[in-house]
Structure 1
């Protein structure tokens, strides 16, 4: 089962998405694909930076309606076990890790998921399985 990073979702809504990424996503069972609530936050952040207009409106509808419908029951929260795993990793490693990436990695670890991302190097430092659908 898989935890999709923000870059994967962003790729899926591009005008010309990577056929490798769309092909990989289409080949998976929908029930095996999960999101972190933090990924939704990162997408909202990107949309908020856009000027008002049709593109922004379309993306808002996608992130606020289409994604929650598609991933109903498969959007994972940052609960206590995730926070604990993240804190333990940070304490042990003493590495400066972006908070969101660390929490996404901890979410994957707690739920035994593979992180699907283009940013493999960002997640390799964690004890989680990582897959690059662009590769």
Structure 2
């Protein structure tokens, strides 16, 4: 897993930029689309979070917090919106991406090598976001 704070003994003086970017990006996207969905009488929000939103492992606390924020925001939205506007959150495991190359903490880097052996193709997640696969589909 990726973390901007690899160890609790080395906390930075301020929060990494990924935290507010994730929260505000999700909220701004909802704010931009919601009026259109209401005017047309429906729509579908799809957010990609991560299994990290539901399971925290060593070195992933900050990463998991960003994914939990995405999940929590869209879950609240799902509960509050009127019928006709759907909300889906996809929480995949490890997805093939460039993320592994950015990890510098040795323990997390080694863990990512293991995780990548069972990673999900990015196209599979894109297919879920487009609604092209069953919600029961599992990738290993």
Normalised by the length of structure 2, the TM-score is: 0.29
The structure in which a higher percent of residues are helix is 1
Structure number, greater radius of gyration: 2
TM-score (norm 1): 0.30
